[in-house]
Amino acid sequence: DVKVTQSSRYLVKRTGEKVFLECVQDMDHENMFWYRQDPGLGLRLIYFSYDVKMKEKGDIPEGYSVSREKKERFSLILESASTNQTSMYLCASGRQGGSYEQYFGPGTRLTVT
């Protein structure tokens, strides 16, 4: 089974702090994605990556950055957390082409106070 893990299930941070969210997948997938999930808005793509050291902006990249130094690991960085970044963050991975199916991690619920 594909396994996507995220470093924390719950996180509470203060406004202005730098926040790192880590995601690891064990299926050698080329593609990795970061979404945020908000009620009524579904999932919105923040950033994605096709390969190591490669990144592309999604629909809502402002206030975020990412890092992919190894194929299995994709990090989301909030440079200076703000209260409007309080959300559920989901990581996903998928194979290049093929079925285009994405496999999701359990999510990190981030609260910025």
Partner 1 sequence: AQSVSQHNHHVILSEAASLELGCNYSYGGTVNLFWYVQYPGQHLQLLLKYFSGDPLVKGIKGFEAEFIKSKFSFNLRKPSVQWSDTAEYFCAVNRGWAAGNKLTFGGGTRVLVKP
Scan residues 68-97 and list those touching partner 1 (CB under 8 A).
90, 92, 94, 96-97
Instruction: Determine if 100 is a binding residue for partner 1 (CB under 8 A).
Output: yes
DSSP tag of 26: S
Rounded Cα–Cα distance for residues 86 and 102 (Å): 24
Among 15, 16, 106, 113, indicate the residue that binds partner 1 (CB under 8 A).
Answer: 106
* Closest by Cα among 82, 20, 32, 91 to 56: 32
Would you give the binding string for partner 1 spanning residues 32-71, x where CB under 8 A is met?
-x-x---xxxxxxx--x-x-----x-x-------------
DSSP tag of 83: G
Q: Rg of the Cα trace of the chain?
A: 13
Instruction: By CB under 8 A, name the binding residues for partner 1.
Output: 4, 31, 33, 35, 39-45, 48, 50, 56, 58, 90, 92, 94, 96-97, 99-102, 104-107
